[in-house]
């Protein structure tokens, strides 16, 4: 993994998580790393959904967990997820971009997907504190709205 330092993102941040973690996150007032060196964010709702499409929505696809073990994504249940829209509190810390490393000889399509994946995520080294009362967006409702919008577009 190749990390590079980056400037702190401006404005709101988005973080997806399972609903069962929401109460602890709100009580704590921070996003914790959960065994990783960084906690991860996106700078738009669209980027967050795209990151989810590339990760937790890929049922059965392999990934490497924070301990370096090969795992497979379980079935994606939209009702189990929320996206938090956060305003970060001022704090010292290092922001990083994780550049997905690919083996030589990868197709241009795979390289482009790896670059997109790396660009979506903004990592904070530490636990990110946020202002109270973040907006919690239901992923299931959001996906339903998107599907209805697409249906309407297709009918026009």
pTM value is 0.88
Residue found under tokens 């790393």: 33
Residue found under tokens 């997820």: 81
Domain range annotation of the chain: 2-155
pLDDT tens-digit profile of 119-156? 999 999 989 999 988 999 999 999 999 888 765 443 33
pLDDT tens-digit profile of 104-123? 999 999 999 999 999 999 99
Contact 120, 58 (CB under 8 A): no
- Helix, strand or coil for residue 104? coil
């Amino acid at each position: 993994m190749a990390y590079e330092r980056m400037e702190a993102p401006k404005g709101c941040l988005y973080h997806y998580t399972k609903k069962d973690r929401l109460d602890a996150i709100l009580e704590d007032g921070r996003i914790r790393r959960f065994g990783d060196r960084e906690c991860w964010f996106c700078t738009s709702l669209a980027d967050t959904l795209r990151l989810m499409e590339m990760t937790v929505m890929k049922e059965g696809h392999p990934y490497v967990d924070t301990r370096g073990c090969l795992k497979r994504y379980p079935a994606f249940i939209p009702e189990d997820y929320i996206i938090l829209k956060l305003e970060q509190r001022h704090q010292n810390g290092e922001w990083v971009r994780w550049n997905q490393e690919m083996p030589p000889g990868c197709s241009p399509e795979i390289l482009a997907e790896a670059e997109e994946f790396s660009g979506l995520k903004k990592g904070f080294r530490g636990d990110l504190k946020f202002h109270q009362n973040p907006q919690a967006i239901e992923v299931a409702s959001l996906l339903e709205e998107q599907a209805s919008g697409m249906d309407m577009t297709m009918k026009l």
